[in-house]
Structure 1
């Protein structure tokens, strides 16, 4: 199987990428979003139209109503010529309005008190930075919210020459369970099922080819000639390249991994604005290769053309890959470039998830765990890692925030977000959907249990169990993910997914092995020679 680019094929590069992918887990974007619903006269349709904008506010001091009722609409007064840090000379204009002002240098409390004294119904602070919840206190009785400068300009454009815009601030009820969780569940379970299945099949083919080589060597040593058909030669070529790409994980590598994962997460926490661009660069490299790895088998089936490039000295092409492989590689690069250019657009999550699924599947095919002992060590250590950085680190940080949550979401005011996760926008109407806030599942929550699923499928071939370990581990992962989502709904805060995924998958596999009397074989990854085909 031709791989592209060559740089990614080195084991050191793969391990570095995996350390970053394992760093992040599942979380929801944190914050206190609300909605500014505007009503204006649209000259195109000759009637009133509405549009909603994302705002940030403090829900503790000034909670917003759940519904945007018609009588509660108020005139939107544009006073972005002032920061309202002191009472303006024409303060009477503010009475009964939602007044939009600049951020300025004074506190939000100061702006709120000035507007409240003038009789305003609310203060909209226009900011060039990210929309966050402003710090308030009980002395301010009217809502003080943040609105982006871009949204404010859009409101002014829609107001037109008459400058007549009305608005209402509200925050609708958020459903406990959103349908986007079903989308994430299907993507995650499908990814580990495909990746784990591919891992087991590849391992089986490698072992089968290895036995053929051993028999051929024995025959050659005895002096008997043996013909080799073209199909065997083709299979040997493909499996040899897969074998060269694969990485077998040992307990020593697991320990090194976990230590480096700790270091990478802390680097992201303290130097996020710089390290995030390194992660994005590495992600683009890994995503290119992942998509190419997934498309290559499909491409060979659709276009069974094995013509290779002529001899050349062009970097990455000197190994003479097939023309089909080069075309697929260029298509993968174009897809990643498209995501990079449009990564801040509303539709970019579709591109990101497509690349993420391809990448995870390719990794699950490439990475092999030697035995269940290694699986248990890896999942156990990352189980502790996940709990520590989600639940324990808030006790040590000065603002009481989880290190994992801060890294996964980028924190307040972050311009870029770590791309190594699956994201799906809210499908039900709420402030989260208006503010383009996504539900997230980190690659680590797919790859870590997925490695166990891949080992289970490999073990199925060894004991000829009709895929009972593979199917059971996939079902256990799906159940564990459902439990994670239920915990999210009940606790309304980010959850360490491995807290639920690890017990579900590990205990299920061990229970199956105990029933079949294969715990020792499963643990060591070895079966008696008269009982296996691998």
Structure 2
């Protein structure tokens, strides 16, 4: 493998380490804190819903905020046309732990979280004549308001909504401007049953693995054919000097590197978690992603164009540091660099996700063609470690860092940006709440390595789709990712570790089929069918 290819593989590994394996959805106004300890009871059994709080200042539409409805109180209308604009007023006292000093005439009252029960605030606001109560949290996140187990005074007939701290600060400034009148409108639009963005993302992930797998298998097949020709035409002296180790354009992962890959990924994630709030560090991530994206886009374009411009693709020029580079690569490089730079400049625009997905997909396809798992043993170690990694950093990390490290990094909570660039995302255009459905590179790349391995094995063993492993592996991946989205929606949009569902489906299917068909020993150790393995033919001829 040449210096350029080695450096690219090392660099790509670093990029992927920074992208393992983000939850599948990021929504504006996600409910971060989860307080479901208190049981439901009559008067306190509402379903938690996100609530839009639209504001008007002196009759002109202004900012819109997102809150979460309480388990108690009246339900909130779902259609905007049924919601009424209502004057907003500040509570006095501010926490509303005691009845307001003045009577209200149907206004919506805004109160601070304070130290008394949420239901106490709501009862005091209703007694004063308020039509709804907005409770401002003392943190930036949303919080689910529930009832204490021993509470009985739950006959509340006005809606109660929790707002994040920053929304309360903005509304407070509006209200303190005595020359302006502030009105608000509360409604909770329902999400579609099927999220079209998740469907497209599902298709995108499977399509990326299919492209990478076929490219990898095709390269392996061509290499095997070329080696067979060399072995057939070579003299005895040439056979004795014939090199071992397969293609120089790929790199096999071993058991140690598979284990260390995930260990180092944990360290990289902690670095992201600690440093992503600094603008300079986030800019470094963008630059790294652009470099990887340029290489991936360039590699894919050159591979496609070389079929029509074969002579240009086979003509080389020596370039310092990079060595021999084809003229076709030199012709394509300016376009790839320009594409990445334009994306970096406009990445926060409404269409920035398109460029990010193109760069990301070509990067993943390129890695699947270059990096390979040589056998099922390495694949089991790699996916097994990634399985534990994913679960720990999404769920168990809360006990150490008081928040899910993976979710915080994926959402870009501390960066001021809309998540880091090392992921694929699609906007939820038909969701009234907006946001993006996302998937990390690792959720595609790591299972993709196993799927690509299955197709290489099938082609070299000359197995058809039904008798081989590739068809079942790609179906298993699709089902695992589908279950991820189902779990995501059943759990109120709380980010899910995709590999929790994908790994058992893909790896489990492979292991069961291999054992049933009697191929498990070969898959586990050699990873290639013995009868077509070029280096085995070579050894037998030497003997």
TM-score (norm 1): 0.74
Aligned-partner Cα distance in 2 for 1:343–1:378: 32
In 2, Cα distance between the equivalents of 1:333 and 1:498?
33
Identify the residue that residue 242 of structure 2 maps to in structure 1: none
Q: State the partner residue of 2:30.
A: 31
The 1:426/1:206 distance shift into structure 2, 3 A limit, reads same
Partner of 2:38: none
Question: Does the Cα contact within 8 Å between 1:122 and 1:144 map onto a contact in 2?
Answer: no
Partner of 1:301: helix, strand, or coil? coil
> Is residue 480 from structure 1 mapped to residue 480 from structure 2 by the alignment?
yes
1:410 alignment counterpart: 412
Output the CA distance in 2 between the equivalents of 1:86 and 1:385: 43
Counterpart pick for 2:443 among 437, 445, 448: 445
User: SS at the partner of 2:349?
Assistant: coil
Q: 2:195 aligns with which of 178, 202, 210?
A: 178
Paired residues in the alignment total: 480
Contact 1:390 1:404 in 2 (8 A): yes
Please tell me whether residue 193 in structure 1 is matched to residue 210 in structure 2: yes
How far did residue 249 of structure 1 move? 0.3
Superposition pairs for residues 334-349 of structure 1, below 5 Å?
334-349=338-353
Of 270, 287, 295, 2:274 maps to 270
- What is aligned with 2:142? 133
Unaligned runs of 5+ in 1: 43-48, 101-105, 157-161, 223-239
**Residues 392 and 519 (structure 1), Cα distance of their counterparts in 2 relative to 1, 3 Å cut:** same
Q: In the alignment, what sits opposite 1:212?
A: 229
Q: Distance in 2 between matches of 1:310 and 1:486?
A: 50
1:500 counterpart = 2:505 = no
- Look up the match of 1:287: 293
Does the C-alpha gap of structure 1 residues 2 and 327 become closer, same or farther in structure 2, counting only changes over 3 Å? Answer: farther
Match of 1:372 among 373, 376, 386: 376
Matched, 1:55 2:66: yes
Distance 1:199 1:309, change over 3 A: closer
Question: Corresponding residue for 1:359?
Answer: 363
What SS does structure 1 have at the residue aligned with 2:252? strand
**How big is the shift at 1:304?**
4.0
What is the DSSP-based 3-state SS (H/G/I as helix, E as strand, rest coil) of the residue aligned with 2:312? coil
Secondary structure at 1:387's aligned position in 2? helix
Deviations 1:402-429 (A, max 9, x none): 2221222223673352111121222433
Structure 1 residues 18-58: Cα deviation after superposition (integer angstroms, max 9, x where no partner)? 3223353534447245324468999xxxxxx9899443456
Pairing of 1:227-266 with structure 2 (within 5 A) = 243-266=247-270
Question: Contact 1:77–1:99 (CA<8 Å) still a contact in 2?
Answer: yes
SS of corresponding position for 1:194: helix
**Post-superposition offset of 1:121:** 6.0
- Cα offset for 1:319? 3.9
Select 1:73's aligned residue among 70, 73, 84. 84
Question: For residues 428-467 of structure 1, what are the structure 2 equivalents within 5 Å?
Answer: 428-430=430-432, 432-433=433-434, 437-467=435-465
- 2:386 equivalent to 1:382: yes
Other structure's SS at 1:133 match:
coil
Report the Cα distance in structure 2 between the residues aligned to 1:221 and 1:312, rounded to whole angstroms. Answer: 29
Q: 1:326 to 1:173 in 2, by over 3 A?
A: same
Task: Give yes or no for the alignment of 1:296 onto 2:302.
Answer: yes
1:95 and 1:451 map into 2 onto residues whose CA distance is 65
Q: 1:245 to 1:16 in 2, by over 3 A?
A: farther
Distance 2:261 2:421 in 1: 20
Mapping for residues 135-154 of structure 1, pairs under 5 Å: 143=161, 145=163
What does residue 235 of structure 1 align with? none
Decide whether aligned partners of structure 1 residues 243 and 52 sit closer, same or farther in structure 2, where only a CA change above 3 A counts: farther
2:275, 2:478 → 1: CA distance? 35
* Structure 1 position 133, deviation (Å): 3.0
Q: How far 1:260 sits from its partner (Å)?
A: 0.4
Question: In the superposition, relative to structure 1, how do residues 446 and 310 fare at CA in structure 2: closer, same or farther (>3 Å)?
Answer: closer
Deviates more, 1:510-519 or 1:475-484: 510-519
State the partner residue of 1:236: none
In structure 2, how many angstroms separate the alpha carbons of the residues matched to 1:20 and 1:270?
Answer: 13
Deviation for aligned residue 1:189: 0.7
Using the size of structure 2 for normalisation, the TM-score is 0.73
The 10-residue stretch of structure 1 (359-368 or 517-526) with the greater mean CA deviation from structure 2: 517-526
CA contact 1:73–1:168 (8 Å) conserved in 2: yes
Q: Considering only aligned residues, what root-mean-square deviation do their CA atoms show, in Å?
A: 4.6
- Check 1:334–1:413 CA distance in 2 against 1; reply closer, same or farther (3 A cut): closer
| Aligned 8 A contact 2:24 2:485 in 1 | no
**Pairwise CA distance, 1:214:** 3.6
The structural deviation recorded for 1:439 is 1.5
For each residue in 1:121-142, what CA deviation from the matched residue of structure 2 results, as whole angstroms up to 9, or x when unmatched?
679999xxx9743898999976
| CA distance in structure 1 between the aligned counterparts of 2:197 and 2:452, rounded to whole angstroms | 27
Contact 1:339–1:351 (8 Å) recurs in 2: yes
Question: Which one is further off, 350-359 or 267-276?
Answer: 267-276
Q: Provide the C-alpha distance between the structure 2 equivalents of 1:320 and 1:78, rounded to a whole number of angstroms.
A: 72
How far apart are residue 330 of structure 1 and its match?
1.6
